[in-house]
Amino acid sequence: MADTSEQKATAQEPATVEVKLRPPTRVELRNLWLKEYGEQDVALQLWVTLVEKENLEVAIMLQMHSLLVFGTMVPTQAYVQFHLDLFDQTYREQDPAMASELHKYYSALIPPADQPEIGPEGLPTMWRYIHLRDVTIIGGEHTVKYHYWRGKVSGVDAFVIGVAPEEE
């Protein structure tokens, strides 16, 4: 039986497989949440929740990957407002499009005022980021200072409430 040119062309083409993505099921979301929750410090989650919900400011020291991070924990709103003001001063006149994009991005970081305590998975909402003001980071012999800082809650190895770095 002789091959036709059409059969040869088909045989040489690689087979393409279409992968269809689907949203995760409620069980899959729950399993992801349980894995992430198991890696969290519940006490730190409580402090972040208090700061965010009650609009508090709390002095804190974080240990993260052998660095000490001192500062005042502030709500996301304060962190965002600082950056919005900074970008507005810096870019509004020279590059209004850039200022608008930065404004949209940073505004989206603010959690909604009516954010439920129970998320779509049917489990408590977790805070993924912590925000500090008047930050001092000490690592080895080096010290750096920042106005504001944002870090992952899951990256915190240890924390102490109510402390500030010693001034030399």
More confident residue, 10 or 106: 106
On the question of pLDDT at 102 being above 80, the answer is: yes
Residue 120's pLDDT is 66
Torsion region of 87: left, alpha or beta (phi above 0 gives left; psi -120 to 50 gives alpha): alpha
Residue range 75-96: mean pLDDT, rounded: 88
The tokens for 133 are 């003001």
pTM of the model: 0.75
Q: What is the pLDDT of residues 45-63, one digit of tens each?
A: 999 999 999 999 999 999 9
Beta strands in the chain (DSSP E): 58-64, 67-74, 129-139, 142-152, 158-161
Domains of the chain from N-terminus onward: 24-74+116-161 (2.30.30.100)
The answer to whether the CB of 136 falls within 8 A of the CB of 145 is: yes
Contacting residues for 19 by C-beta, under 8 A, at least 6 apart: none
Tell me the pLDDT of the chain averaged across its residues: 85
